[in-house]
Structure 1
Amino acid sequence: MGNAAPLVHTATAIAAVVLLILKAKVNPALALVLGALYLGLVGGLGAERTLETVNKGFGDLMAEVGLLIVLGVLLGQLLSALGAIEKLVTLLLRVLGPRRLPYSFAVTMGTVLQSIFADVLLVMTAPLARSLGARIGPYGLARMAAAMALGVEVGIALSVPGIGALALAGLLHIPLGIMLLYGFPLAAVTILLTQLVFSALVKRGFWNPERDESAQAAATDAAASETAVSETAVSETAVSETAVSETAVSETAVAPPQGGAGPAVTGPPLALSLAPLLLALVMIAAGAFAEVAGWRSPVAGFLGDPVTGLLTGLVLACLVARRSLPPGAVGEAFGQGFRTSGQILVLTGVGGSLAAVVEAVGLGDLVKDSFSASTWAPLALVWLIAAVLHMAIGSVTTSAITAAGILAPVAPGLEVQPVLIALAAGAGSLFAIHATSNTFWLLQTLLGQTTRGTLKTVTVTVSGASVIALGLIQTAGVVL
């Protein structure tokens, strides 16, 4: 096969992984390990070196982001238990008003609240979003559904501390602070632009309530409109009335920890609830700014390290929770956090194994020779790989990790900043979210949409965000 052999072997391995997941119903983590083993063996590494490479790739990535993922998930669980989500949305509604709520809601979910595991975030916010949808004007349900889809998915892939963004930063050896500085504004701008486009389309007939909303949802929204008293009272009363029935709809959703993570929790004031997360993000961002500015000191390095920031936030959250929640609530939140982070760690680690094998078989040299002459080509390639993988597999995180892993070996040799490659992989993994995604069915069920409506608010909308994000990334690549 000559010089094309690494490319052919890698393509075959990826195709095998997809078939194992879709046809044989093999768990994605196991499929990625098998794909890495196959690639190493047919790529000429031999049995012993293949196993060493798989183990080393897993261990190296865990050393890079493993502790960060665990700390981020635990912090998110405590935020849920403290009732921060409901208080934050109430504040947004009071300050910005109902017309701007879909935008502020989506950006908040896609940035500040990304430490909360996606399914938990959906279940926690869906009753609130659905009840508010009837009160923000025409086509409120459609706009809130699109806001939720954008906030959850774009945040996972692009914004620290989203799980996908953490994994991509580890794969490409990008300092987490740099990933935060680039990804946070990219996610916010992408969400805002996409929500604007969706709102404009809805006003021009893109959304048909009779066909895109279930009959039950239409009846519920009509009744809610008749009984609304004021904008500020809505978010306080709607949650307690609808939380039980809405949360029980989906048995497959990851439930929030018992004993305090549900919407009915009163908890401490909003500023105190969010202080741990905000402190962690400020410490990480400060470390990134110090690195960019060239301010070197042991103290700044320690305080600006992402592990220090997240650990400080977690300790503060524990102190707040112990003073505000019932006995045992912190332990239950930690137990749920450990169960959630376990599956994320395994999937992230085996993505590192595949990336290490891809590098060892020599794909890097071939890709570098083909794409090092320009900036847009490698970014477009990694976006395309992630998009194709997502359409086949249905997992944002898995497709982003796999796509970035393929180009991780060549990133240092290209005239493109590695952070842009990571963000391009994240953007591509957002393309064509459809029926293979758990998020698709959760949003359909929890928000009372038909399948036709969910295709519009999730598949079309998030795919648009994927393309918009790629355009912004390509622009950044030219400017930088």
Structure 2
Amino acid sequence: MPDWYTLGVVALVIIAVVLAIVRFRINPVIALAVGAAGIGLLTGLGPVDTVKTMTTGFGEVMMEAGLLIAWGVLIGAMLNEMGAITRLVDTLLRAFGPKGIPYALGLSFATYLQTIFIDVMIVMAAPLARRIAPRLGKAGTGIIAATFAISLETGIVLMVPGFAAVALAGLLDVPLGIMMLGGLAVVVPTVILAIIVMTVLFRAGFWNPARDEEETIHDESSEEEPALVRSASAADGVELDSTRSGTLRTAVGGTPNRHASGAATAAAGEPPLLLLFGPMLSALALIAAQAVLTVLGIENPVMQFLGDPVIALLLAVIATGLVGRAAVGIKRIEKSLVKGFQDGGQIFVLTGVGGSLAAVIAQGDLGEVLKGYFQATTWAPILVVWVMAALLHIAVGSVTLSAITAAGIIAPAAASLGLNPLIIALAAGAGALFCIHVTSNTFWLLKLFLGQSVRGALKTVTIGVSVASVIALGMTLILSVFVH
């Protein structure tokens, strides 16, 4: 088929998917599935092969990412039930002080805390964050809010065990350990530099407390609060069961925010904080160690088993469950696991359907078509996938959906260009961070729980995360020089 026809079909179908989600409120999973089928039929794949390709793509991605997402959901649910987040924030404040807390919080949220749903971390950590803000000066609320937004959103798409990062790794067949190391190389400088940029801007006068701040949700109030605006895709966060601040229930664990008020200090009999996070940190260390051994060409059967992400995270689930049973009891841990699985369901399906879309596109000749446009430099597809993910995110409001869709479109050309799939995954994740705005549930949660006006949230979330998106693109381009 002519190049213009193939490109036109894919472009029109993607536009139709975006309109279906935004204008007609069709669930993203259904819209993507119909879009994948449409591309297959319109590009001559045929009815039988279209269905076969879709199911194969779904299965291949879930084979890579399904169990990993499940283990992450379970670990996050149990940590939330044990009140680990608020205790960690309090500990970081004591350890790093007011000046260092934005960076300590940012790197924690963007890396090892990514097993916990974004919305849950905001709800649990916000009370302590509001107490920290005044100690950072007049622009403290803006600095803390930007730290939350930058780190939480960056981690979910670039850093394993973030759900979108795991999905991208599965979609592009990137070993999870390699995705973790590559993500770490991009995330750490991105978070630090983005927080520095926003801190300088806010302290230079870009933050106006009189106009950018307003009354926040009280820790223990019974007043009704405005309904939270849901994201266009629940895959980027989880829905809250109530809008009453005093009885706000998180979607993971399903229990009231018992840790929202008062100092988050360990009461007598509570397990040490390191014990709560120890299993997850150990699992991530095993995965990273095995990835390093793989890069060095060293084969060790024991490490190959223990460092496999499925086994490492499974061991973390078991160990966290044992700690949780001792800390809060069997019933509460079991209840949190059941609720976690329920709320993680759409993430599983969205990830698989993203694989279906990518598989259908790969079956056609789009890869050869794109190759013809990218001959000049291998940087071109990196920039294109970033722009594609950015535009999709502006339209749809879902970082996960936009990253997966952009990566799936560009993936067929990656192998023929000699471009490492890791770089494609990181570029898609970086682009999906651009211009998070009012269609995002995270935008409204950060506004409500951190005491910002809409104007303030546009500065901390929309501008702050967009700065991180551009920096992450730069870091990815630098990494592409060394990764082939």
Structure-2 residue corresponding to 1:185: 185
More off after superposition, 23-32 vs 1-10 = 1-10
After TM superposition, the score normalised by the length of structure 1 is 0.91
Contact 1:351–1:401 (CA under 8 A) maintained in structure 2: yes
- Determine the structure 2 residue equivalent to 1:9: 9
CA distance in 1, matches of 2:366, 2:220: 50
Do 1:67 and 1:307's aligned partners in 2 also have CA atoms closer than 8 Å?
yes
Amino acid at match of 2:204: R
What amino acid is the match of 2:88?
Answer: L
Counterparts of 1:245 and 1:336, CA distance in 2: 25
What are the superposed Cα offsets for residues 350-370 of structure 1, whole Å, 9 maximum, x if unpaired? 100100111112111111232
Offset of residue 137 of structure 1: 2.4
Find the counterpart in structure 1 of residue 346 from structure 2.
343
Give the corresponding residue for 1:411.
414
Query: Contact between 1:80 and 1:262, CA under 8 Å: does it hold in 2?
Result: no
CA shift in 2, pair 1:243/1:167, >3 Å: farther
Asked whether the 8 Å contact 1:71–1:311 carries over to 2, the reply is: yes
Q: In structure 1, what residue type is equivalent to 2:297?
A: G
Q: Unpaired segments of 5 or more residues in structure 2?
A: 229-238, 241-249, 261-265
Which deviations, in whole Å up to 9, do the C-alpha atoms of 1:395-424 show, x marking residues without a partner? 000000000011122222223221111000
How far residue 245 of structure 1 moved from its aligned partner, in angstroms, is: 6.5
**Separation (CA, whole Å) in 1 of partners of 2:192 and 2:24:** 39
1:226 is matched with none
Contact 1:58 1:351 in 2 (8 A): yes
Q: Tell me how far apart the structure 2 counterparts of residues 362 and 127 of structure 1 sit (CA, whole Å).
A: 53
1:49-103 CA-partner distances (Å, limit 9, x unpaired): 1111111111111111001000011111111122221222122111110111112
How far apart, CA to CA, are the structure 1 residues paired with 2:79 and 2:290?
A: 23
SS of structure 2 residue aligned to 1:448: coil
Instruction: Give the structure 2 partner of residue 282 of structure 1.
Output: 285
Residues 76 and 259 of structure 1: is their aligned pair in 2 closer, same or farther, counting only changes over 3 Å? same
Q: Given that residues 89 and 125 in structure 2 are in contact (C-alpha distance below 8 angstroms), is that contact kept between their aligned partners in structure 1?
A: no
Name which of 241, 253, 257 aligns with 1:257. 253
Listed as ranges, the matches of 1:399-438 within 5 Å are: 399-438=402-441
Q: Secondary structure at the match of 1:416?
A: coil
Verify: 1:204 aligned to 2:204, yes or no: yes
Instruction: Identify the range of structure 1 (21-30 vs 291-300) with the bigger mean alpha-carbon deviation.
Output: 291-300
Aligned to 2:313: 310
Residue 242 of structure 1 pairs with residue 219 of structure 2 = yes
Matched, 1:92 2:92: yes
| In structure 2, C-alpha distance between the alignment counterparts of 1:437 and 1:341, rounded to whole Å | 18
Call closer, same or farther: CA 1:247–1:48 in 2, change over 3 Å.
farther
CA contact (8 A) 1:372 1:413 kept: no
Alignment of 1:131-280 (within 5 A): 131-214=131-214, 216-217=215-216, 242=219, 252-253=239-240, 254-258=250-254, 262-263=258-259, 267-280=270-283
Q: Which residue of 2 aligns with 1:51?
A: 51
Length-normalised TM-score, structure 2: 0.91
| Cα distance change on mapping 1:473 and 1:322 into 2, 3 Å | same
Question: Where does the alignment leave 5 or more consecutive residues of structure 1 unmatched?
Answer: 221-240
Distance 2:435 2:175 in 1: 29
> Match of 2:74, as an amino acid?
L
Q: Which amino acid aligns with 2:182?
A: Y
Question: CA separation in 2, counterparts of 1:413 and 1:55?
Answer: 25
CA distance in 1: counterparts of 2:310 and 2:377, whole angstroms: 35
Aligned partner of 1:168: which letter?
L
Q: Structure 1's 243 and 193: CA in aligned 2 closer, same or farther, altered over 3 A?
A: farther
Q: Which residue of 2 aligns with 1:113?
A: 113
Deviations 1:272-297 (A, max 9, x none): 01101101101110110110111113
- Give the secondary structure class of the aligned counterpart of 1:125: helix
Q: Is the alpha carbon distance of 1:25 and 1:250 closer, same or farther for their aligned partners in structure 2, counting shifts above 3 Å?
A: closer
Paired residue type of 1:86: T
Equivalent of 1:319, from 300, 317, 322?
322
CA distance in 1, matches of 2:139, 2:364: 52
1:385 aligns with 2:388: yes
User: Is the 1:123–1:247 Cα contact (8 Å) retained in structure 2?
Assistant: no
Aligned CA distance change for structure 1 residues 244 and 426 (closer, same or farther; 3 Å) = farther
Query: In the aligned structure 2, how far is the partner of 1:415 from the partner of 1:303?
Result: 31
Kindly tell me: are residues 203 and 84 of structure 1, through their superposed partners in 2, closer, same or farther at Cα, counting changes over 3 Å? same
Count the aligned residue pairs: 457
Between 1:279-288 and 1:133-142, the stretch displaced more is 133-142
CA distance in 2, matches of 1:288, 1:305: 9
CA–CA distance in structure 1, aligned partners of residues 227 and 310 of structure 2: 34
Shift of 1:107: 1.3
- Report the equivalent of 2:25: 25
| Identity between Structure 1 and Structure 2 (%) | 49
Matches of 1:2 and 1:34, distance apart in 2: 23
User: What secondary structure, in the 3-state scheme, does the structure 2 residue paired with 1:156 have?
Assistant: helix
In the alignment, residue 242 of structure 1 is paired with which amino acid?
Answer: D
Partner Cα distance (2:223, 2:350) in 1 = 30
RMSD after superposition: 1.9
Query: Which residue of 2 is the match for residue 375 of structure 1?
Result: 378
Residues 295-332 of structure 1, C-alpha deviations (whole Å, 9 max, x = no match) = 11332211110001100111100110111113411111
One-letter identity of the residue aligned with 2:61: L
Measured against aligned partners, the alpha-carbon deviations of 1:237-294 in whole angstroms (never above 9, x if no partner) come to: xxxx826669977665343414587426854111101101101101110110110111
In the TM superposition, what is the alpha-carbon distance from 1:445 to its structure 2 partner? 1.2
Say which is worse superposed, 10-19 or 321-330, in terms of deviation. 321-330
2:70 corresponding residue in structure 1 = 70
Q: Which residue matches 1:361?
A: 364
Contact 1:157 1:165 (8 Å CA) reproduced: yes
What is the distance in 1 between the residues matched to 2:221 and 2:9?
50
Secondary structure of the equivalent of 2:135? coil
Higher deviation after alignment, 125-134 or 463-472: 125-134
Distance change (3 Å), C-alpha of 1:306 and 1:145: same
* The structure with more helix, counted as a fraction of residues: 1
Q: Name which of structure 1's ranges 65-74 and 295-304 shifts more when overlaid on structure 2.
A: 295-304
> Using the alignment, how far apart are the partners of 2:254 and 2:29 within structure 1?
28
